[in-house]
Amino acid sequence: TPFQEESISDLLTKHTRLKLQMSNDIYSTYHLYPPPQLSEIKTTVVYPATEKHLQKYLRQEVYLIRETGEDYKNIALPFIQSQSFSIQWVYNILEKKAEADRIIHENPDSSNGFVLIPDFKWNQKQLDDLYLIAICHRRGIKSLRDLTAEHLPLLRNILQEGKDAILKRFGVAGSQLRIYLHYQPSYFHLHVHFTALSYDAPGCSVERAHLLSDVIDNLELDPQYYQKRTLTFALRADEALLKKFQEAGKA
């Protein structure tokens, strides 16, 4: 995990062990062995892990897909509907059966409301890697592809209330946040990512992240924008969806 500013000086004490690697004039490099309280490693445990979990974390080759609106209807959507990757943990959060004490903000409206909660990748001890997730209460919105002008009130609520809540709780202004959706998402229940702008967060690359403000603008211009638009995203070599696109001559 990132070092705390107030504890950096503790690295330069007698409790830290240094092993010299190279020295040249005024320059030296060492292997540094900090005391236990400064060598924390954040660990996430998935147990029992399914084959899908294992595949998610394996390093593999990736390929770019250009998915038209028709490709989504004919290839991606049937595949998504055939999968059984559980999102019960999402419903547990929304129903406050789990992680209720971690909720930063909630709009309880069943159609246009959401909960804002810290992502597990952020330990909340520093703002450098700030990372929160807004999860909408409304079920049935799987991803960017489902969004129409009907969902603009929900998206505007997430954008404005999310920024306000983060400013109030953490003192980080909206102009210092990257607020975006993934396509394709890692789970198919609409959610929005809030990260520190200076943090190179996983999944914030151009082939996956879509800024929420841009999504709102696009839907204001064309209510069916995301049903029509060709979307680019990456798939890993072992993903069954990639094989579906390959079989259809689309990859």
Distance CA 143, CA 174 (A): 23
Contact 68, 52 (CB under 8 A): no
Whether 99 has a binding-site annotation, put simply, is yes
Residues labelled catalytic: 191
Whether 151 has a binding-site annotation, put simply, is no
Contact 245, 251 (CB under 8 A): yes
Whether 15 has a binding-site annotation, put simply, is no
Whether 183 has a binding-site annotation, put simply, is yes
Whether 191 has a binding-site annotation, put simply, is yes
Whether 137 has a binding-site annotation, put simply, is no
The closest of 79, 118, 116, 102 to 235, measured between CA atoms, is 79
The closest of 89, 231, 210 to 159, measured between CA atoms, is 210
Can you say which residues are annotated as belonging to the binding site for substrate?
89, 99, 119, 121, 182-193
